[in-house]
Amino acid sequence: MLAILLFLPLGLAAAETGIDAWLRYAPIPDAESYHGSIPSIVVALNDSQISPVYTAGQELQQGINGIFGKDCTVQYEGGDGPSVTVGTVAGYAETGGSIDELPELVDDGFYMSTVGGEALILGQNERGALYGAFHYLELLAQGNVTELAFASNPDAPIRWVNQWDNLRDGGTHGSIERGYGGHSIFFWDGVVRDDLTRASQYARLLASIGINAVIVNNVNANETILNETNLDGVARIADAFRPYGVQLGLSLYFASPEALGGLDTFDPLNDTVVEWWNDKTNQIYEKIPDFAGYLVKANSEGQPGPITYNRTLADGANLFARALKPHGGIIMFRAFVYDHESLNQTLNWKADRANAAVEFFDGLDDQFEDNVVVQIKYGPIDFQVREPVSPLFTHLVKTPVTVELQITQEYLGQQCHLVYLPPMWKELLDFDLRVDSQPSPLSSILNGQRFNRKLGGYAGVVNVGLNETWLGSHLSMSNLYAYGKMAWDPTSSPEALLNTWTKLTFSHDQEVIDTIADMSMASWPAYENYTGNLGIQTLTDILNAHYGPNPASQDGNPWGQWTRADATTIGMDRTVWNGTGFSGQYPSEIAAQYESPTTTPDNLLLWFHHVPYTYRLRSGQTVIQHFYDAHYAGSATAQTFPTQWSRLQGKIDAERFEAQRFRLEYQAGHALVWRDSINNFYHNKSGIADQQGRVGNHAYRVEAEDMALDGYVPYAVSPVEAASGGYCIVTSDNSTRGAASVALERWESGRYDVAVNYYDLAIGNSTWELWIGEEMVGEWKGDLEYRIGKAPVFYIDGQTATRITFRGVEVTKGDVLKIVGVPDGQEPAPVDYISVLPEGVVD
């Protein structure tokens, strides 16, 4: 054993699962050299185990030990020698500490001084002290031991996360709606889990980025969350959160008085209903005295609400606000209200889902109780790759608001595509809405400054799961980290946050930091380019899993994510003069800008305007050619990700290196699926050729349906553009093995990259083999449903289309290339095409 250990390369990182995310406290380079400047005593000014100050003490001990390999003791009152002291301002004053010179702190804020070989960390409240301790550790973990003294206050008081966890598996969404990291960490089989270890670990991560509350259940709520057993369970979750200063809140099913309480109504103005909610709320506070409040989705996507009884949304929100007020709780009432059943596109050019929120909240601004906060998605539709900032933020002046962001990547690649989101959030938060022609960046509306409000802030839909990576993918965790940091300080730089995150999560090695920065910073623009540019939205399958290309699914249904594409024109006319009037919902300066295509930025052109494919953008390019070019450019960027990542082999642990390598390869393949589907769709629709002759022309491709088939049959794919040439091949039945062959006459002898495009459905694990002549090049299984966590899909389409590439394969002119497919379950080993590519060419 000793001999083997001796031969292990020095510095090789041990395997890591990702469970500690950015809180690994891994030893830093030259750790020992810091020993003299780091105190070895931690003084925590509270010894109650449920106090965040106590937690801070434990965390500091663990951190100093991990980062520097230095022993450190925790004590609960001052002692001899240099120490790291952590507590509240009040607690520090009680021990005789001087607080006269401290800068002003607001709720949750902290002061830190590392001057003179000691550290003093004081929170305005207990969790502020914990935030300060995490901040100190973050500096240490970066090797930063410079002397500092500063105060840090959160920009906004509400910094919540939402989890869309269902109480049990089922329906189309499994246990977490739009969650891609496995089962719920809170619930199993209709009740709260016995083991809540992951709930505490989650609270730890969240506290370290300044998050102060979690809504633990889905906004599409179930009334049984409020039964006695579940409230006891939920109280256990709150217990797990408490040492981290994280409060718990619940989503409510509006019709609970009827569904759970047995009343014959849930009318918010009915006295028995009011009493039912008051009793229920009192019961919750008996079990959870620091309960944060409620989140309510009402009258939207089939959910009941006050409008069911012809009451206003304010009547609905106030019902809960009054029940919560005596306890100090708040209600987050969602603005995501629209009636998909009454939207009709084909008959009505003026119909527009984007108009809904402002219309539903019209006239209600002064009707809400003061503990109602309206939670507004960043854009007027639904977490698309690009949307203008929702105009509702400018209509609610008296009512506090939060912005709802999505960390889980529902429409943005479901954690199977690397998409670093903070650059998008930054654009949204900095966007100046020009209310009354005064500077009005969104962040100033959220933090309350612009309209003089006390409440407001941020709600992020996270949807972590039991998977040890939390979100399903290591690199996606940068989004969660940066979300908390930006909610604390929206002026933070996305790139600087990313670099810190990389250092904490992976390594101090500059190549690791630079590579992850290059890939991540390029990822949102690339994803926008290959999924849906010019403001047309993410052209994904909106009728199924919201994954993979399906532009046709946007139109011809009442869901309102329309593009109104026909043979000659495309885009939503949202102008006042001729369209849906949506642009008129903005303050006048912004409305005027969006009203005309010549002043609308190119990246929102098709959001606001219906134009010919031949319309010239400000860039000088036509709309259709821009589509073609952008899809080629975006997918080309995605091809660079696996290559860039491969440079990090040996610089990070093998486990995380390999997990991410696999995902980036997958993304590169799926980006090509996106490129070809979208380009073929608009090429077919418009009949306009790509000036560069790429669309529809693939010199190195052989269609599977054109190969010699034995046991395989051609299959017409729907939508047609989700297959190269419109067809793939499937085995003739569920038990017959299929073979497809072609002689490679067109290729000169040499080395090639051989790519196979196939479909991996969530209803079986087919096996494929690739042969060149008598050599088996590779064998693989259709088991992506177990490996990458995206929503399961059962169809042969753009959601299941994928690619595997074998690099540097020796081919002799005339060799027979053969694919053998063995079906499994309902999955008929489908193959779309093969590409035999000279090295360096991707198609």
Which residues are designated catalytic?
301, 382, 410
The least distance separating ligand GCV from the CB of residue 164, rounded to whole angstroms, comes to: 5
Mask for 460-489, x = binds ligand GCV (CB under 6 A): ------------------------------
Question: By C-beta, is 219 or 688 nearer to ligand GCV?
Answer: 219
Distance CA 487, CA 429 (A): 10
The least distance separating ligand GCV from the CB of residue 234, rounded to whole angstroms, comes to: 19
Q: Note whether 504 and 22 are within 8 A (CB).
A: yes
Token pair 């219906």: residue: 610
The least distance separating ligand GCV from the CB of residue 293, rounded to whole angstroms, comes to: 18
Question: By C-beta, is 461 or 829 nearer to ligand GCV?
Answer: 461
Mask for 318-357, x = binds ligand GCV (CB under 6 A): ------------------x---------------------
The least distance separating ligand GCV from the CB of residue 411, rounded to whole angstroms, comes to: 8
Distance CA 709, CA 739 (A): 6
Contacts by residues 3-7 (CB-CB < 8 Å, ≥ 24 positions apart): none
Question: By C-beta, is 172 or 452 nearer to ligand GCV?
Answer: 172
Q: Note whether 328 and 285 are within 8 A (CB).
A: no
Question: By C-beta, is 545 or 811 nearer to ligand GCV?
Answer: 545
Among 204, 280, 297, 386, binds ligand GCV (CB under 6 A): 297
Token pair 């995605």: residue: 638
Among 38, 86, 129, 219, binds ligand GCV (CB under 6 A): 219
Distance CA 472, CA 489 (A): 27
Q: To 10 degrees, the CA torsion angle through 475, 481, 486, 492?
A: -70
Distance CA 67, CA 770 (A): 48
Mask for 147-186, x = binds ligand GCV (CB under 6 A): -----------------x------------xx--------
The least distance separating ligand GCV from the CB of residue 718, rounded to whole angstroms, comes to: 22
Give 3-state DSSP helix, strand, coil % of the chain, rounded to 5. 35, 20, 45
Question: By C-beta, is 297 or 610 nearer to ligand GCV?
Answer: 297
Q: Copy the structure tokens of residue 601.
A: 């930025």
Question: By C-beta, is 410 or 690 nearer to ligand GCV?
Answer: 410
Distance CA 167, CA 173 (A): 12
Among 65, 113, 220, 272, binds ligand GCV (CB under 6 A): 220
Question: Which positions from 803 through 822 interact with ligand GCV, judged by CB under 6 A?
Answer: none
The least distance separating ligand GCV from the CB of residue 546, rounded to whole angstroms, comes to: 6
Mask for 101-140, x = binds ligand GCV (CB under 6 A): ----------------------------------------
> Whose CA is closest to 380, among 214, 530, 562?
562
Coil, helix or strand at residue 145:
coil
Q: Which residues contact 252 (CB under 8 A, 6 or more apart)?
A: 221, 225, 226, 294, 295, 296, 320
The least distance separating ligand GCV from the CB of residue 336, rounded to whole angstroms, comes to: 5
Question: By C-beta, is 220 or 278 nearer to ligand GCV?
Answer: 220
Q: Note whether 11 and 18 are within 8 A (CB).
A: no
Distance CA 306, CA 340 (A): 17
Mask for 747-766, x = binds ligand GCV (CB under 6 A): --------------------
If one asks whether residue 234 binds ligand GCV (CB under 6 A), the answer comes out as: no
Relative orientation angle of helices 654-686 and 623-646, to the nearest 10 degrees? 170
**Alpha helices, DSSP H, located in 687-807:** 784-787
Coil, helix or strand at residue 718:
coil
10 Å Cβ neighbour count for 676? 29
Q: Note whether 161 and 215 are within 8 A (CB).
A: yes
- Phi, psi of 623, rounded to the nearest 5 degrees: -55, -50
Number of residues that bind ligand GCV (CB under 6 A): 9
Question: By C-beta, is 410 or 665 nearer to ligand GCV?
Answer: 410
Question: Which amino acid is located at 474 in the chain?
Answer: H
Mask for 366-385, x = binds ligand GCV (CB under 6 A): ----------------x---
The least distance separating ligand GCV from the CB of residue 220, rounded to whole angstroms, comes to: 5
Q: Which residues contact 610 (CB under 8 A, 6 or more apart)?
A: 564, 569, 570, 571, 572, 573, 579
10 Å Cβ neighbour count for 350? 12
Q: Which residues contact 218 (CB under 8 A, 6 or more apart)?
A: 163, 164, 165, 166, 176, 177, 251
Question: By C-beta, is 561 or 635 nearer to ligand GCV?
Answer: 561
As a three-state string, the secondary structure of 776-818 is: EEEEEECCHHHHCCCCCCCCCCCCCEEEEEEEEEEECCCCEEE
Question: By C-beta, is 353 or 631 nearer to ligand GCV?
Answer: 353
The least distance separating ligand GCV from the CB of residue 410, rounded to whole angstroms, comes to: 6
The least distance separating ligand GCV from the CB of residue 297, rounded to whole angstroms, comes to: 5
Distance CA 515, CA 506 (A): 12
Q: Note whether 834 and 756 are within 8 A (CB).
A: yes
Distance CA 287, CA 797 (A): 49
Question: By C-beta, is 378 or 628 nearer to ligand GCV?
Answer: 378
- Phi, psi of 674, rounded to the nearest 5 degrees: -60, -50
Distance CA 761, CA 318 (A): 46
The least distance separating ligand GCV from the CB of residue 348, rounded to whole angstroms, comes to: 22
Mask for 384-413, x = binds ligand GCV (CB under 6 A): --------------------------x---
Distance CA 263, CA 280 (A): 14
The least distance separating ligand GCV from the CB of residue 130, rounded to whole angstroms, comes to: 31
The least distance separating ligand GCV from the CB of residue 613, rounded to whole angstroms, comes to: 29
Q: Which residues contact 428 (CB under 8 A, 6 or more apart)?
A: 378, 389, 403, 442
Contact positions vs ligand GCV (CB under 6 A): 164, 177-178, 219-220, 297, 336, 382, 410
